[in-house]
Amino acid sequence: MVGNILITFALLASVFSITMYYFTYKGYDNALKLARAAYHATSISIIGASAYLMYAILNHQYEFKYVYDYSNSDLSVGMLMSTFWAGQQGSFLLWLLLTALSGLALLEYTSKRGNLESRVMMVFTLAVTFLLIMVSPGLKNPFTLIWSDPTYIDLKNISQSFMSLPFINDFLFTDQSSGASLVLINEKLAGLLASNGISINDFIQFGKGLNPLLNNFWMQIHPPILFVGFAMSTVPFSFAFAALISNDYKDWVTSSLPWLLGGMMVLGLAIMLGGYWAYVILGWGGYWGWDPVENSSLVPWIVGVAGIHTMLIQKRTQTKEHAGRFVKTNLILSILTYLLVLYSTFLTRSGILGDASVHSFVSPGMVTYALLLIFISTFTILGFGAIIYRWKYLEKTFTSEENILSRELALFVGAVLLLGSAAIIIAGTSMPIFGSAVEISFYNEMILPIAILLGILNGLSLLINWKKTSEKTLIDNLKIPLFVTFILTVVAVVWGGFNDIMAIIFMFSALFSMVINTKTIYKIVKNNISYIGGYVAHLGFAFFMLGVIGTGWFTTEKQVELIQGETKSALGYDFTFTGYTPVDNGKKYKFNVNVVKDGSENTLSPVMYVSDFNQSLMRDPDLLNLITKDLYLSPVSYEDAKEASGGEHNHQTTLIKGEPFEFHGSNITFTKFNFPQDAMNSMQSGADFFIGAVIEILHDGKTYTIEPKMKSSSGVKTFEDAVVEGTNLKIELKNLDASGKIEVVINELSKTDEPTKEVQVAKGASLWVDISVKPFINLIWVGTLTIVLGFFISMVRRTKEAK
Amino acid sequence: MNNKYIFGGIIIVIFFGIMGFLLTQTNIKYEENFVELTKSDATIKATGSWVKEKNYEIDRENNIFSFYMKDFNGKEIKVIYNGAVPNNFESSTSVVVTGKYKEGNFYASDILTKCPSKYENEYEAAKKTS
């Protein structure tokens, strides 16, 4: 109740705030106070609702369906807190909360800058309103009570002490497919419990728990940071819209730039953390899989970054009377960044990507789907509608000047390249809407040439001055960096043994950018450290590209079987599997692998376990960070020690009646059971009996029939082996299943016509692992963090300028 | 008309041309009907469900994981995958395999398992009363 009252109140207050801001804009100055008060009331209610949900989670109030669905009493406090955003409802609330908080800062910021506040806050609060509708009762509401829709929950989650209640039996059911005992929780049961003075929070003892993929540290930080980025992306949209309303395009760039920088810094960090999470925990092996969900948050980032570049030009070219260049571009990009955030949300939450992505949400239902569409449409119509409305004026007032060789032009081309890559990614990512998908190669092939051009351009642009540069100056400036880059490229190519021309060009491009940015940073860091932000970010991008070359072209991988106690060499390392140790109270197992190279010894411990949550085998990789490369160990499977193994080639399988099984060129078919009437009578009377399994083998064009038997003697079952005369096959019967299946081990005997040559060798426990060596993967992380640092330095500078 | 618009226009046309071409080249269709699947030799994303009655097999020597998958009509197909059993496989309600159909088998290069419980709970959808 409390939660929904707060949400509803916040919703009403936000609508009131928008109205009052509108009146303020229309000139009713006394409405401003009300607008502010209403926005503060909205924020406080949202904070209150969020705190209430957190309280409910921490206190295991399973009366809330959301708490029951995503958390459990055995989670640590940190993980318990992160279940706040484990599902659709809670993550919408988190996004809303962070948007509301950003709004408080934005209100403070705009209130000090002319008459910006009413125009900016009007549209910003509208975004808050939409998110509030999203979490309203009846939609993606985290405060829905568990009995409001009849729900079957597993009996084991119910406190056993209430099982003796007389009315409980009316609510017990059995799921016929899984055999699980379920309790129907509905309004009637809730009423009966209440009339007996039992709280539903005591009645339900456990929740469903958190998906093991989410149950780790990164879950605690990645989603909140991502949503801060999403929330801050609302701000440039609001500024652009405010500029369009007042038809004044000069100051908004200065006010908006620090927010865009901040938003893209946070969003970039979040995307990187997501990649790191996939790498170290989820065991995807890489940091980026071009998964539609990853892509959809990358696209707004790229567009936002393109916007930063063109906004810098506008600021740079501003004069007292002129707003500067690329006014239209900046408006469009600021609006587009937020629209793409909404589009990303739509793709991941509408269920469209259900079959295409590893981690999208399932379909949220028609109403939410429609609301998401209305959300996007509204902001698209607002943003682009305003641009179209002002287009005549914009077109007339801001005609672009001739593009001469200048840094402005270079920055603009850079922005165009970024937008090109964004177009590529969004095209590939949107394919599931049309019921298909693209191969990963689409992205790699399309993006690579753009990345090469970006690296070169990035270096070149720093050699070109603002306004105008003569070609001669450019060539003079170019000589030394080009020479250094050339030497470095040759060294890298020879040392690394490059054999792909694209990789060499890419290497050159990355090094060129690195050399020039390093030189520039060195030159200006002494004078004014606050000016190096852009160069630091570009240096980070160069590092990142080098990391991509290392991992993309030079990763080596191999799958090996490690037998306990035996040392095996692979990819230049010696691996010894030493056994496993239970962790987490025996719920998980660490598989310890000793890794030796050049006398240095390390232990890697990938983890495997069967999760209670989904009864599935889960695997966590482990890695060894060797500075210049990572040794990455991903577990595949484990087999206990075997006492003795059978023939040289054997294969255990289940044969189904009438279905041929192919084994090394032979077709093996189990045709029927031979179960004569007298054997059946013997079985029923408890005497000894046998059942034969008739198996036909098609080998080299001939058909052979064998009939190994199961014999039951004094209740002890034994199974026969049968050698297929004329072939090299021996079939061992292992088990029968009356439903028409048999389990067999098929042996391929050695061709020397020797009879069964049993290899009675005991085999140690074996661990299969995927081993890979990823050179310079650390440059990926160092590069991204350097980019983030660059954004931070720039943000500080631009915030000072916006005063 | 300004030269730079013509130049820019040409670049944009070329860019989208290449993109469109590569999009069709790397396009992967979804197929829910396995009868259709067997008629094509292109890379396809087949969606269906694992036939639990027929156990999956793991051939460790050749690192092959194979299982049977059926479509909504119950048409079955054998899937052969070079790799380990994917996470969440046993509890999956539906499976999306990417690969090619060849001579009676579907050779998968990627397996995606969808679990109802993954993010959202759909236990209720399968509810049964006794």
Q: What is the pLDDT of residue A730?
A: 79
Measured between CB atoms, which of A354, A437, A656 is closest to B28?
A437
Q: Check CB contact of B26 with chain A, cutoff 8 Å.
A: yes
Q: How far apart are CA B61 and CA B56, in angstroms?
A: 16
- The answer for residues whose C-beta is within 8 angstroms of residue B116's C-beta and 6 or more apart is A362, B93, B122, B123, B125, B126
Angle between helices A251-280 and A88-111 (to 10 degrees): 150
Q: What is the pLDDT of residue A467?
A: 78
Q: How far apart are CA A665 and CA A643, in angstroms?
A: 30
Instruction: Answer yes or no: do A8 and A111 share one domain.
Output: yes
Ranges of each domain in chain B: 30-120
Q: How far apart are CA A183 and CA B127, in angstroms?
A: 11
Residue A786 lies in a domain: no
Q: What is the pLDDT of residue A755?
A: 43
Instruction: Answer yes or no: do A740 and A607 share one domain.
Output: no
Nearest-CA distance A151 → chain B (Å): 6
Instruction: Answer yes or no: do A172 and A298 share one domain.
Output: no
Tokens read off for A543: 């590092």
Q: Which residues 77-116 on chain B approach chain A with CB closer than 8 angstroms?
A: 83-85, 87-91, 96, 112, 114-116
Q: Check CB contact of A441 with chain B, cutoff 8 Å.
A: yes
Instruction: Answer yes or no: do A344 and A253 share one domain.
Output: yes
Residue A780 lies in a domain: no
Residue A699 lies in a domain: yes
Q: Check CB contact of A209 with chain B, cutoff 8 Å.
A: no
Instruction: Answer yes or no: do A638 and A663 share one domain.
Output: no
Q: What is the span of the domain harbouring residue A674?
A: 649-744
Q: Is A401 exposed, middle or buried (0-12, 13-18, 19+ CB in 10 A)?
A: exposed
Q: How far apart are CA A92 and CA A130, in angstroms?
A: 11
- The answer for residues whose C-beta is within 8 angstroms of residue B97's C-beta and 6 or more apart is B45, B46, B69, B79, B81, B106, B108, B110, B111, B112
Instruction: Answer yes or no: do A614 and A673 share one domain.
Output: no
Nearest-CA distance B4 → chain A (Å): 9
The HSE-up count of residue A219 (CA atoms within 13 Å, CB side) is 21
Instruction: Answer yes or no: do A635 and A703 share one domain.
Output: no
Q: How far apart are CA A561 and CA B61, in angstroms?
A: 9
Predicted confidence (pLDDT) per residue in B60-106, tens digit: 677 788 888 888 888 888 899 887 777 667 777 788 888 888 888 88
Nearest-CA distance B68 → chain A (Å): 12
Q: What is the pLDDT of residue A714?
A: 66
Residues of A in contact with B126 (CB under 8 A): 175, 177
Instruction: Answer yes or no: do A218 and A196 share one domain.
Output: no
Residue A548 lies in a domain: no
Q: Check CB contact of A799 with chain B, cutoff 8 Å.
A: no
Please give the tally of structural domains in chain A. 4
B96: nearest CA partner in chain A: A355
Q: Match 């980019």 to its residue by tokens.
A: A787
> Who has greater pLDDT, B24 or A6?
A6
Instruction: Answer yes or no: do A656 and A637 share one domain.
Output: no
Residue A329 lies in a domain: yes
Residue A504 lies in a domain: no
Nearest-CA distance A647 → chain B (Å): 14
Q: Check CB contact of A431 with chain B, cutoff 8 Å.
A: yes
Residues (pLDDT < 50) of chain A are 644-648, 751-760
Instruction: Answer yes or no: do A240 and A356 share one domain.
Output: yes
CATH fold for the domain made of B30-120: OB fold (Dihydrolipoamide Acetyltransferase, E2P) (2.40.50)
Q: What are the phi and psi torsion angles at A594 (to 5°)?
A: -85, 130
| Tally of CB atoms within 10 A around A161 | 11
Measured between CB atoms, which of B26, B61, B123 is closest to A439?
B26
Q: What is the pLDDT of residue A212?
A: 83
Nearest-CA distance B125 → chain A (Å): 10
Instruction: Answer yes or no: do A261 and A365 share one domain.
Output: yes
Residues forming a β-bridge with A194: none
Residue A784 lies in a domain: no
Instruction: Answer yes or no: do A654 and A620 share one domain.
Output: no
Residues of A in contact with B117 (CB under 8 A): 208, 211, 613-614
Long-range contacts of B33-42 (CB under 8 A, 24+ apart): B33/B71, B33/B72, B33/B73, B33/B75, B34/B69, B34/B70, B34/B71, B34/B73, B34/B75, B34/B76, B34/B77, B35/B73, B35/B75, B37/B71, B37/B77, B37/B101, B37/B106, B38/B77, B38/B101, B40/B101, B41/B100, B41/B101, B41/B102, B42/B100
Q: What is the pTM of this model?
A: 0.83
Predicted confidence (pLDDT) per residue in A716-732, tens digit: 677 778 877 777 777 88
